Amino acid sequence: MDVTALREQFPILDRRVGDHPLVYLDSANTSQKPQVVVDAVADHYRLHNANVARAMHMLGAEATDAFEGARAKVAAFIGAGRPEEVVFTKNASEALNLAAHSLGAGLGPGDEVVISVMEHHSNIVPWQLLCERAGARLRWFDITGDGRLDLEKAEAEQLINERTRIVSLTWVSNVLGTRNPIADIAAKAHAVGARMVVDGSQAVPHQTTDVVALGADIVCFTAHKMCGPTGIGVLWGRYDLLAEMPPFLGGGEMIEVVEMERSTFAAPPHRFEAGTPPIAQAVGLGAAVDFLTGVGMDRIEAHEHELTAYALGKLTAIEGFTLLGPAEAIERGSAISFNLEGVHPHDVMQLLDSRGVAIRGGHHCARPLHRRLGHQSSTRASSYLYTTHGEIDALADALVFTRDYFAPKFRG
Amino acid sequence: MNVDELYQTIILDHYREKHHSGLREPFDVEVHHVNPSCGDELTLRVHLDGDTVGDVSYDAEGCSISQASTSIMADLVIGRPVTEALALHDEFLEVMQSKGELTPDEDRFEDAIAFAGVAKFPARVKCALLGWSAVRDAILQAQAKEQ
């Protein structure tokens, strides 16, 4: 993969921060956008803008074709059986809320929902709200010392049992980088009649996705982490399951017939897409999917894998560096979270920013995980297809500088 | 933006050696303030001695800016009349929200003048205000309790 040529398609990567070139290592937060995606969104607004489905004129037909075409592209990208299995939402959080609301509609006292301590808040809070409403019990996978799901403890506790109705797990942790064995856990969930929901936000952008092989019932992810625009997320669900699920938001375009007493609802996916959807954003997501497919998801995964192994070796050699998560690039995404001895993540972020290195400091919307790890917060560097070895070197140099700035004992 | 403007020596010194840290008795009110965006957390106790701030003690986790600001705040308000402590809070808030336009009065603010540079880094203003917001909240609650 020619990363230098790829980078030329991302205009923002040419920016400078003061005297330093921008080193963007915050792609797990949001990815940068290639020119083709920027152009696709702009062209839609310049030439094809109209509302979808309801506008019957020429532009309406063009916009509808573009919107539904994007749905088909996303379906093909993730190996979905048919485009109608792809529901467009506002983001992954909304998709997970939809799953919790509609899939959880029948839950009551005695039922159990299982999540894990490594989840992003967006895969915790919707289930907490559901369990409060339904009187159901929320249970948690713990993690092992090296940041993997603790499957033995889960087995010993009979975490997944005949009372389990829903299991919802992240495919790849946004903090630890850990890739979870979703197919195995989905099989366990299905064996007790439970549904498997997957937060794919940190996985789908970085590797080939085959939702059928994954074995999940619902997979949620977001466009802006995969070179697409903000404002659009995806919920994929097995069609027969979606067809059973009640609506989430009510409004225009999700109905069949509205009477004053009651309404009947459209078939999936439109049942779950109330109101005017993110049309230009869907077009941008379609362009992002074409872009990623053109580069090749296998090549992106291989590049990131090699880069992650390089970064882990380089960073863990820094004295005072503590890694959160697996130290080997095995079953692992490219997010690398850490702490520097004696320096708070906010201060790491500030010093790195002053040298052009953009990373994230804080709890990364995973406070229970940080509590579990005994860290108040952490610093995270995250790579993508455009990240270079030189940028990892710049990060490592900036971290040594930062450590010495705050902790004089390291100044030799 | 030069990062050395933010990380003044006074700030780093207070960060390494926090003054008045640790929760103490007696106290009238205990408050818990957080900065949800970064996870900084502060538990702070206030003891009023009539119209004077008798003691401020705290347990804090956070960045150098929030830790140093809380340390300096405690130096400034302990032993000071309550009305003056609250006035200092208001002035400090005004300086922090000035985007670097206002310069704090060195006679009144002592070590806290080091935070003038923080006002130029909008993302960090919340860090500098954490301790001050907590002490104001605690003082007002303690006063309400007395009445």
Q: CA-to-CA distance for B55 and B46, rounded, in angstroms?
A: 6
Asked whether A359 and A348 are in contact (CB, 8 A), the reply is yes
**Quick one: which of A339, A308, A349 has its CA closest to A326?**
A308
* Range with the poorest average pLDDT among A22-31, A161-170, A254-263, A317-326: A254-263
pLDDT tens for A108-144 read 999 999 999 999 999 999 999 999 999 999 999 999 9
Query: Quick one: closest CA in B to A367, which residue?
Result: B39
- Supply the pLDDT for residue A255: 85
> Where do you find CATH 3.40.640.10 in chain A?
37-293
pLDDT tens for A256-291 read 888 888 888 999 999 999 999 999 999 999 999 999
Domain range for residue B114?
Answer: 3-146
Domain at A3-30+296-410, CATH class: alpha beta
Asked whether A332 and A177 are in contact (CB, 8 A), the reply is yes
Contacts of A362 in chain B (CB under 8 A): 37-39
Would you say residue A294 has pLDDT above 60?
yes
**Number of CB pairs < 8 Å for A and B?**
46
Structure tokens at A173: 């942790």
Interface residues from chain A to B (CB-CB < 8 Å): 18, 344-347, 350-351, 354, 361-363, 367, 370, 376-377, 405-406
Helix (H), strand (E) at residue B144: helix B122-146
Tokens 């960045």 appear where? B63
Q: Any CB–CB contact under 8 A between B34 and chain A?
A: no
Q: CA-to-CA distance for B82 and B89, rounded, in angstroms?
A: 11
Q: Any CB–CB contact under 8 A between B59 and chain A?
A: no
pLDDT tens for B17-50 read 999 999 999 999 999 999 877 778 999 999 999 9
Residue from A29, A125, A347 whose CB has the most chain B CBs within 10 Å, to mutate:
A347
**Do B38 and A406 lie within an 8 Å CB cutoff?**
no
How many CA atoms, within 13 angstroms, populate the side-chain half-sphere of residue B78?
Answer: 17
CATH of the domain at B116: 3.90.1010.10
Letter string b/e over residues A230-247, b meaning 16 or more CB atoms within 10 A of that residue's CB = bbbbbbbbbeeebeebeb
Q: What share of chain B in percent tops pLDDT 90?
A: 67
**Do B38 and A405 lie within an 8 Å CB cutoff?**
no
- Supply the pLDDT for residue A342: 86
Instruction: Looking at the complex, report in whole angstroms how far the Cα of residue A372 sits from the nearest Cα belonging to chain B.
Output: 14
Would you say residue A328 has pLDDT above 60?
yes
Q: What share of chain A in percent tops pLDDT 90?
A: 92
pLDDT tens for B113-137 read 888 888 888 888 999 999 999 999 9
Instruction: Looking at the complex, report in whole angstroms how far the Cα of residue A379 sits from the nearest Cα belonging to chain B.
Output: 11
Contacts of A367 in chain B (CB under 8 A): 39
Instruction: Looking at the complex, report in whole angstroms how far the Cα of residue B87 sits from the nearest Cα belonging to chain A.
Output: 29
**Do A350 and B62 lie within an 8 Å CB cutoff?**
no
pLDDT tens for A383-408 read 999 999 999 999 999 999 999 998 87
Contacts of A346 in chain B (CB under 8 A): 38, 40, 62-65, 124, 127
Total domain count for chain B?
Answer: 1
Structure tokens at A376: 């108040």
**Quick one: which of A280, A387, A300 has its CA closest to A38?**
A280
> Where do you find CATH 3.90.1150.10 in chain A?
3-30+296-410
Give the number of residues written for chain B.
147
Instruction: Looking at the complex, report in whole angstroms how far the Cα of residue B39 sits from the nearest Cα belonging to chain A.
Output: 6
Query: Quick one: closest CA in A to B62, which residue?
Result: A344
* For range B14-19, the mean pLDDT: 93
pTM: 0.93
CA dihedral A140, A144, A149, A152 (to 10 degrees): -80
- Supply the pLDDT for residue B3: 84
Q: Any CB–CB contact under 8 A between B37 and chain A?
A: yes
Contacts of B39 in chain A (CB under 8 A): 362-363, 367, 370, 376-377
Domain A37-293, CATH 3.30.365.10 — does that match?
no
User: Tell me, what amino acid is at A327?
Assistant: A
Contacts of A357 by beta carbon, 8 Å cutoff, 6+ apart: A20, A23, A25, A394, A395, A398
Contacts of B63 in chain A (CB under 8 A): 344-347
Tokens 């610093």 appear where? A379
Cα A196 to Cα A98, A115, B103, distances in angstroms:
14, 10, 57
Would you say residue A209 has pLDDT above 90?
yes
Whether residue A269 is preceded by a cis peptide bond, meaning omega within 30 degrees of 0, is yes
Outline where A145-247 has alpha helix (H): 151-156, 182-191, 211-214, 239-244
* Range with the poorest average pLDDT among A5-9, A49-53, A134-138: A49-53
**Quick one: which of A10, A118, A168 has its CA closest to A370?**
A118
Would you say residue A243 has pLDDT above 90?
yes
Instruction: Looking at the complex, report in whole angstroms how far the Cα of residue B46 sits from the nearest Cα belonging to chain A.
Output: 24
Q: CA-to-CA distance for B135 and A191, rounded, in angstroms?
A: 55
**Nearest-10 crossing angle of helices B64-77, B9-16:** 90
Would you say residue A412 has pLDDT above 60?
no
- Supply the pLDDT for residue A411: 66
- Supply the pLDDT for residue A295: 98
- Supply the pLDDT for residue A275: 93
What is the average pLDDT value for chain B, to the nearest integer? Answer: 92
Q: Any CB–CB contact under 8 A between B121 and chain A?
A: yes
Look at B101 and A37; give whichever has higher pLDDT: A37
pLDDT range class, residue B1, cuts 50, 70, 90? low
- Supply the pLDDT for residue A189: 98
Helix (H), strand (E) at residue B143: helix B122-146
